[in-house]
A and B are shown apart, each in its own frame.
Chain A
């Protein structure tokens, strides 16, 4: 409570708040507390739904707690965390997550960039095209994965039919049948969803570049390629980097697509971190162990977030 009031007082010493205090200067104490009352419900809800469950989970992760057996809360120390590092399936799921999202992210970025460059000019129907191209971002991942699952069925799907027409002979590829192709299929769904995101982000970045820079470059005799290399690319560096990190942070949690298209198969080859942790903790009731696994995932995401903050911080300094 004491720290709360102190922080409140500190907040009030800032200029805009002082102004407000001057406008309504009659009841200083309630004025000082009122803003905290506005935030309090949100903080309480977050405490209940996020902070407490996380702390609870941390405690569980140090026990052998199993829901299926009456194990109770037997303290196990770091055993779960140690076991996780020897769990071949868990380690494989980490590798597989990287194998799926790494290429997917790079491809999505390149495609999105190409689209952004293509759209960064005035032409008829531009708004319509941008809106239509942005649709995959908002389609539920579940629905997107289901659509792809249907399109990839060997005999009745659209993908083999399209490829057959292009190649000129009947193809019956079992897209979800082999480990490599299944990973590729899951990755393609991510490209489909993330390329439009990068298109929007980079298009916004491109439009923020003032035309004068290009004019000045042209007057100095720069070729289109030089304009691109010395003006466009450097100015897109920060939006690109931040966008890539956001994509990485989001994709590392990949679950829906895998759950629907392959349920981790064939032979566990598309199991991702979240997928394996979900099955361990929720489906097979190894809650103690599952909680430990989830903290490994959390730590990875946290690391990426720190990186993101560093990068954004650097950008702000660079601009100022």
Chain B
């Protein structure tokens, strides 16, 4: 009797701790969500109200209407989407050649990976100067290209792993059966490693979507991303627009949630660049 009571208390304590930590971890995100649904009167109440009494979508309407939020979301989508497509188009063949034929040996693969570690600031200054000269500042091609610097190494590195994990004999068998090498890749290997490719695409997209430094330096009015818009929305000159800022943050966070739910298993590997076995 006392034994089962003890076990029950232990389990309850365990879940209580876990719920507490999870709550703290999600608090910033939930706070933003809550603020985005409050009226200005509610978020300027002291002491603060945690849940909106009369939830309103007014800030989202303002964001999409007067503040032109759609444009920034669209810009972010074009840049992140374009970059993801470009990165995949370049990395899939490269990773295949590196995995199957060991082009350039370990040195080349390692050099590509090492680019990922470059501090962005070291590239921001020359890109700023070069883009100004080439008139690539504030253009979509310029931004889509700029993000390849950090996303190609990550994509190539992860894809090499997927290609290497694919059993060589199955590909050989397909080729003996009359498949061309290209056919064996597109019709045999890629469909099998598709979930991995998907994760690479999602990671590339999110890293691009989340970036501030490059976007801040290389965008002006016509390609401004949602992340750059955040920074101006919170500190708007006329008034502190907590509500609209929160609404824009909520929209900016959505891709992250999709990714976390879809690719959790590969997350460790992706984020640690294969440095940690997981």
Contact = CB atoms under 8 A, between A and B. Distances in A.
Interface of A: 7-8, 10-12, 14, 16-17, 19-20, 23-24, 35-36, 38-39, 41-43, 45-46, 48-50, 53-54, 56-57, 60, 67, 115, 118, 123, 129-144, 146-151, 155-158, 161, 164, 170, 192, 195-197, 200-201, 204-205, 208, 239, 242-243, 246, 249, 252-253, 255-256, 259-260, 273-274, 277-278, 281-282, 287, 290-291, 294-295, 297-298, 301, 305, 308, 312
A94 B253 CA distance: 31
A236 B112 CA distance: 28
A54 B91 CA distance: 22
B231 interface: yes
B50 A138 contact: no
13 contacts: A16-B102, A19-B168, A20-B101, A41-B94, A49-B148, A130-B264, A136-B29, A143-B253, A143-B256, A146-B234, A239-B276, A290-B125, A291-B125
A138 B104 contact: no
B101 A56 contact: no
Which 9 residue pairs spanning A and B have beta carbons closest together? Answer: A204-B278, A147-B28, A140-B210, A57-B126, A53-B126, A35-B101, A38-B97, A138-B256, A38-B93
B175 to A, nearest CB: 6
A235 to B, nearest CB: 12
Contacts of B112: 42, 46
Contacts of B128: 281-282, 287
A133 B149 CA distance: 30
Interface in B81-125: 90-91, 93-94, 96-98, 100-105, 108, 112, 114-115, 117-125
Contacts of B21: 115, 133
A137 B260 contact: yes
B96 A38 contact: yes
Given A23-B172, A45-B148, A298 B268 contact: no
B6 interface: no
Given A10-B105, A138-B256, A158 B210 contact: no
Nearest to B89: A41
B246 A150 contact: yes
Interface stretch (B41-49, B62-70, B189-197): B41-49
A54 B123 contact: yes
B79 interface: no
A178 to B, nearest CB: 20
Contacts of B175: 23-24
Nearest to B145: A49
A39 B104 contact: yes
Interface in B247-268: 249, 252-253, 256-257, 259-261, 264, 267-268
Interface in B151-189: 152, 156, 168, 172, 175-176, 181
A39 B164 CA distance: 16
Nearest to B50: A158
A49 B272 CA distance: 23
A155 B100 CA distance: 60
A246 B273 contact: yes
A135 B29 CA distance: 9
B172 to A, nearest CB: 6
A278 B120 CA distance: 10
A204 B206 contact: no
Contacts of B8: none
B277 A35 contact: no
B62 to A, nearest CB: 17
Given A53-B126, A301-B118, A156 B276 contact: no
B268 A295 contact: no
Contact of A197 (B45, B94, B152, B271): B271
Contact of A11 (B47, B102, B216): B102
A242 B28 CA distance: 29
Contact of B121 (A36, A140, A297): A297
Nearest to B35: A150
Nearest to B86: A45
B103 A35 contact: yes
Given A39-B93, A138-B206, 9 more contacts: A35-B100, A118-B17, A139-B28, A156-B45, A161-B47, A274-B119, A274-B213, A278-B213, A278-B217
B122 A150 contact: no
Contact of B209 (A17, A131, A134, A140): A140
A176 to B, nearest CB: 13
Contacts of A140: 209-210, 227, 252-253, 256
Contacts of A312: 275
Nearest to B22: A132
A147 B98 contact: no
A101 B152 CA distance: 27
B60 interface: no
B121 A274 contact: yes
B176 A305 contact: no
A151 B27 contact: yes
Given A10-B105, A11-B103, A146-B230, A50 B125 contact: no
Contact of A301 (B119, B217, B273): B119
Contact of A16 (B44, B105, B168, B209): B168
Given A11-B105, A129-B18, A200-B267, A259 B94 contact: no
A290 B122 CA distance: 9
A54 B122 contact: yes
